[in-house]
Amino acid sequence: MPKVLFAAAEGAPFYKTGGLGDVAYALPQALSKLGVDIRVVLPYYPKLFPARYLKALRPLTQFSLNFGGHEKYVGVRTLTLGAVTYYLIDNEEFFGRDGLYGYWDDGGRFGFFQMAIIEMMQVIDFIPDVLHVNDWHTAFIPVLLHDKYAWITPYQQIRTQLTIHNLQFQGWFPESVLDTVFGIGRQFFNDDGFAQDGQVNFMKGGINFADLVSTVSPSYAQEIQTPEFGEHLDGTLRRQAHKLVGILNGIDTTLYDPETDTHLAAPFDARDLSGKAQDKAALQQAVGLPKRAVPVFGIVSRLTQQKGMGMLVSALERILPGADIQVVMLGTGDADLEAGFAHLHERFAGKVAAITRFDEGLAQQIYGGADFFVMPSAFEPSGLAQMMAMRYGTLPIVHETGGLRDSVQPYDATTGAGTGFTFWDFTPQVLADTLMRAALIAQNEPQVYQALQQHAMAQDFAWTNAAKRYLDGYQRLHA
């Protein structure tokens, strides 16, 4: 069984901004249950680290590394959750911030982090068979192992895997980081290395130098090889297609379980859906909508154009005047989109509830109490919310892209098969038509709707499935 070091810039339950944080917790935990010796390395953000874990956190070691000609302190702290050991890289200068990303010196911060990971391995005497890096924050590690650290004999046997969670974020930095951060030459500053439009591109370096590149869904692996979704790296990805695979993310099926979810007013399962009606009524009461037996469409999302929220506002403006439906939206994001949903809330009182805040309990109530879950993303590398919704018999309505296409089977009126509703053309009218089609089935064909609910709830999105795919990849690399 291969030894694995899993490197990421964020990880639940300590800190997360999105799907990367969820994966960095759930995947190692699932792999450990398959017998893999997998350890996780993250930055230590002291201002953000949850107080409830401080008692378990202990210092392990410290050393210094050469950062652009200057010696920098590296502290390593450790704790264990489940069967997984976590290492946290400590340096107040780089990680003593109020947020994870978005600083002028992010190139230096995560350049330091990547060199600290590599040098830490010898110090703590853990040389993995596979070093699994994630997104741009750690994508330069395969480059460094081929360049700066190529002379270290124990490291020469390490194989690397890069997982791309979202290609939109690549880590572009001036050429000067090669001197001021890494202290390496220009031998790989070219199209076959890490150069892109005269800059250093961390993600491109990882794609070119990693032994295996994975994305978080099979469809996304194909999409990013096209100009439409490739974010200027589609040519690189096509050249490296022989080592590119897509593995759909999973969800925590214990946490997202309508039989045990304490946020719900009543438990239910696929055999007995009666509790869901109580949860719908409780949701309507919680958000100030009348308790009526009409289709309820739920949305839990960042309010961005990438998530299709602008198109959704336009679609709802078309159907709400005549449709007997309700809409519950929970999320924050772009100011114009927040204003758009607020306008719908005011204009269609009794039909729309727009809640612009983060509320985990209310999100669970939406998953449990809504009839449909709307997720019309322009692109979606994996997506987790549509899988969570299906666990609760809340049928997803999704754009056929990335992980949404891989996880939602469109309703087929001929066979009755399906787990939700999908649309292809990314336009407000097509989305509006899809919403109305779903609403009419819920209103006029309750047996069809209930059969789709049961199909959706029968889907197996447990992390064990994805973990087995990752383990297969590790074993091939280690063979």
| CATH code, 366 | 3.40.50.2000
CA dist 299 to 124, 166, 251, 422, 436, Å?
45, 21, 18, 15, 16
Could you tell me which of 293, 305, 299 has the C-alpha nearest to residue 328? 299
Q: Which two tokens stand for residue 30?
A: 């699932």
Cα dihedral across residues 201, 202, 207, 209: positive or negative: positive
Q: Is the peptide bond before 13 cis (omega within 30 degrees of 0)?
A: yes
| Residue 287 located in a structural domain | yes
* Same-domain pairing of 309 and 411: yes
d(CA 87, CA 216) in angstroms, rounded, equals 24
| Residue 261 located in a structural domain | no
Backbone dihedral region for residue 234 (phi beyond 0: left; psi -120 to 50: alpha; all else: beta): alpha
| Residue 257 located in a structural domain | no
Write the DSSP assignment of 430-461 as a string of letters: HHHHHHHHHHHHHHH-HHHHHHHHHHHHT---
Question: Within 13 Å of residue 22, how many CA atoms lie on the same side as its CB?
Answer: 14
d(CA 350, CA 324) in angstroms, rounded, equals 10
**Is 52 exposed, middle or buried (CB count within 10 Å of its CB: 0-12, 13-18, 19+)?**
exposed
* Same-domain pairing of 279 and 326: yes
| Residue 262 located in a structural domain | no
- Give the pLDDT score at 476: 95
- Give the pLDDT score at 358: 87
| Residue 368 located in a structural domain | yes
Cβ neighbours, 10 Å, residue 139: 30
* Same-domain pairing of 285 and 375: yes
* Same-domain pairing of 471 and 455: no
**Are 372 and 208 a contacting pair, CB within 8 Å?**
no
Instruction: Tell me which H or E stretch contains 28.
Output: helix 19-33
- Give the pLDDT score at 289: 98
Give the list of residues 6+ apart from residue 30 with CB closer than 8 angstroms, or none: 250, 463, 464, 466, 467
**Are 259 and 333 a contacting pair, CB within 8 Å?**
no
**Are 251 and 461 a contacting pair, CB within 8 Å?**
yes
d(CA 64, CA 67) in angstroms, rounded, equals 9
* Same-domain pairing of 175 and 289: no
Q: What is the pLDDT along the chain (479 residues), one digit of tens a residue?
A: 999 999 999 999 999 988 899 999 999 999 999 999 999 999 999 999 999 999 999 999 999 999 999 999 999 999 999 999 999 999 999 999 999 999 999 999 999 999 999 999 999 999 999 999 999 999 999 999 999 999 999 999 999 999 999 999 999 999 999 999 999 999 999 999 999 999 999 999 999 999 999 999 999 999 999 999 999 999 999 999 999 999 999 999 988 999 999 999 999 999 999 999 999 999 999 999 999 999 999 999 999 999 999 999 999 999 999 999 999 999 999 999 999 999 999 999 999 999 999 898 999 999 999 999 999 999 999 999 999 999 999 999 999 999 999 999 999 999 999 999 999 999 999 999 999 999 999 999 999 999 999 999 999 999 999 999 999 999 999 88
Domain count, the chain: 2
**Are 231 and 396 a contacting pair, CB within 8 Å?**
no
**Are 159 and 130 a contacting pair, CB within 8 Å?**
yes
Write the DSSP assignment of 99-147 as a string of letters: SSS--TTHHHHHHHHHHHHHHHHHHTT---SEEEEEHHHHTTHHHHHHT
Cβ neighbours, 10 Å, residue 378: 17
Instruction: Tell me which H or E stretch contains 299.
Output: strand 296-300
Q: Which domain holds residue 233?
A: 3-250+464-478
* Same-domain pairing of 7 and 124: yes
One-letter identity of residue 286: A
d(CA 394, CA 217) in angstroms, rounded, equals 22
| Residue 43 located in a structural domain | yes
- What's the pTM? 0.94
């690189």: which residue's tokens? 236
**Are 459 and 446 a contacting pair, CB within 8 Å?**
no
| Residue 313 located in a structural domain | yes
* Same-domain pairing of 231 and 371: no
* Same-domain pairing of 74 and 221: yes
Cβ neighbours, 10 Å, residue 365: 25
* Same-domain pairing of 241 and 326: no
| Residue 363 located in a structural domain | yes
* Same-domain pairing of 216 and 229: yes
* Same-domain pairing of 424 and 469: no
The neighbouring-strand residues paired with 298 are 328, 373
* Same-domain pairing of 12 and 132: yes
- Give the pLDDT score at 255: 87
CA 438 to chain centre: 27
Give the list of residues 6+ apart from residue 144 with CB closer than 8 angstroms, or none: 114, 115, 118, 182, 184
